[in-house]
Structure 1
Amino acid sequence: MSTWRLLLADDQAMVRTGFRMMLAPQRDMAVVGEAADGLQAVQLAVDLKPDLVLMDIRMPNLNGLGATEQILNRCPATKVLVLTTFDLDEYVIRALNVGASGFLLKDASAHELLAAVRAVCGGDAVVAPSATKRLLDRMLPIVIGDGASRLAAAGLSERECEVLSLIGRGLSNPEIADELVLAESTVKSHVHALLAKTRSRDRVQLVILAIESGLVTRES
C-alpha cells in the first residue's frame, strides 16, 4: 500500500492538530510537515516534496492563493487541496484556476476529508457539492469569464452539456450515471470528451466552466 505524504498549511495550530489527528492514524497517509503561513508552506513543499498540501486560504505573510500558485509552479508533482469557509469562497475559483485539485469546506466531516485526500492523491479532483452551492451563491453575481464563448466554441453535444451541468453541481460519475440512466463507463467517456473539447485540465476546471457559462444556477 502506498503512503501519501501530506503537508498541513494553516495558521491556526488547533486546526492543524485536528487535521493531524484525523489523518496520521490512516495507514495510507503520513503527515510530513506543518506550516503556519504561506511562505513556510512554499518552503516546506519545496524541501519535503509532499504528495498533497492541505491549504488554508487566509494565512499571514502569503495567503493560500499565492502559496498554491508558487507551490504548483515549483513542485509540479505536488497537489493542493484548498480548505475554505463560506466567507472566503470568492478566493476559491482563483485557487482552482492556478491549479488546485479541489476544495472542501472546513466543516467537512472526517469521512469527507479522508475521501477527498485519497481522491486527490489518486489523481482525481474534488469539489464538495455543499461547497459548490455556497460558491455559486457568492460567485454568480461577480464572476467574470468567457465561459459562454468557450462553451459555444467547444461544440458540445446536448448530452455532453447535460453531463457538464451535473459535473458543475458537484455530482460524481456514479451519481451522473443514475441521474441520466447511463452506464458509468459511458459517463466516463463523456467526461473525457468534455475535457478534450473544452481544453480543461481536470474536473475542477469543468466545474468552473459550468458556472461561468451559466449551465449551473442557484436553483439547480
Structure 2
Amino acid sequence: MQPIRVLIVDDHALFAEALAARLGREPDLVILPIAPDARRALALTATERPHVLVLDLTLGAENGLEVLDRVRKAHPDVRVVVLTAMSDLDAMVQAVRRGAVGWLEKTESADLVARVIRSAARRGGWIPPDVLGEVLRRLLSGDAEPTAGARLLAGLTPREREVLQCMVDGLGRAEIAERLGLSANTVRTHTQNLLSKLDMHSALEAITLAMRAGMRPNDP
C-alpha cells in the first residue's frame, strides 16, 4: 500500500519529537515536519499533503477545535485524529461533529496511535470503547434533521445497506464478511462506497447518521 503521510500538530516539542521518532520506525508511515501551531499546521497541510493529521487540542493560546475546523474546510480529504491530554466528553463529541475520525489520550501506547492512524487512512476511526456509547448518545441527541439522513440512505444499494446495518450492529469488517458471505476486500469496497455516498468520513459518523434515520441494532 501507499505509505501514509502523517502530520503531527503539537506545541509540546519533547512529546511531539518523541512521538515522531517512534512512529517513524513504522515502515508504512512517513512522518512530516512537526507543526507547533495553527499557522504552521495549515501551511504544512497545504504543501506536504498529509493523509492523516494528528492534532493536539491544546496549542498554547489557540483552540485545537478551531484548527480542526480550518483544516477540514481547506483540506476535507485529510483525516484528523485528536491526540490530547484531555479526557473531556464534550470536547470529544465536538471534535467528532467537526470531522475528527479518532480520539486518543496521550497516555495511550504508540502502537495504538499507529493502529488508529492506519485505520483513519483507510476511512476508519477510533473512539475509546468505554465511552463510545455515551459519545453516540450525545451525537444522536443533536439537532441534525432525521429526514435528511433518510434521504441519503435511500441512495445506497441493497448490499451497502446490509453492510451499514452490520456496522450499526457493532460488527467489524471480518465479522461483516462472515455474516454476508463476502471477502474482506469486498466489504472494504462497500464500506468506502457507502461512506462516499453519505458524505461521511468515518464509520462512527455513518453509524450515527444511520441511527438518526431510524436504523437500530438487530437483536443478537
Asked whether the two chains share a fold, i.e. TM above 0.5, the reply is yes
- Extract unaligned runs of 5+ from structure 1: none
Q: Does 1:182 align with 2:199?
A: no
Partner AA of 1:206 in structure 2:
A
Equivalence for 2:88: 88
Alignment of 1:67-86 (within 5 A): 67-76=67-76, 78-84=78-84
Q: Does 1:191 align with 2:191?
A: yes
Structure 2 counterpart SS, 1:33: coil
Equivalence for 2:147: 149
* Whole-Å separation in 2 of the counterparts to 1:147 and 1:167: 21
Partner AA of 2:137 in structure 1:
L
- Extract unaligned runs of 5+ from structure 2: none
| C-alpha RMSD over aligned residues | 3.8
1:181-212 CA-partner distances (Å, limit 9, x unpaired): 5323664565366446x633343430331454
Aligned-pair identity in percent equals 24
Whether contact under 8 Å (1:5, 1:32) holds in the other structure is: yes
Instruction: Give the total of aligned pairs.
Output: 213
Q: Given the two structures, how large is their TM-score scaled by the length of structure 2?
A: 0.70
* Whole-Å separation in 2 of the counterparts to 1:61 and 1:32: 24
Q: Does 1:38 align with 2:38?
A: yes
Shift in Å, 1:103: 0.2
Equivalence for 1:11: 11
* Whole-Å separation in 2 of the counterparts to 1:190 and 1:16: 36
Name the CA shift for 1:160/1:32 in 2 (closer, same or farther; >3 Å).
Answer: closer
Alignment of 1:61-72 (within 5 A): 61-72=61-72
* Whole-Å separation in 2 of the counterparts to 1:134 and 1:85: 16
Q: Given the two structures, how large is their TM-score scaled by the length of structure 1?
A: 0.70
Whether contact under 8 Å (1:5, 1:30) holds in the other structure is: yes
* Whole-Å separation in 1 of the counterparts to 2:189 and 2:47: 38
Equivalence for 1:113: 113
Partner AA of 1:88 in structure 2:
D
Alignment match of 1:136 (pick from 133, 138, 142): 133
Whether contact under 8 Å (1:37, 1:61) holds in the other structure is: no
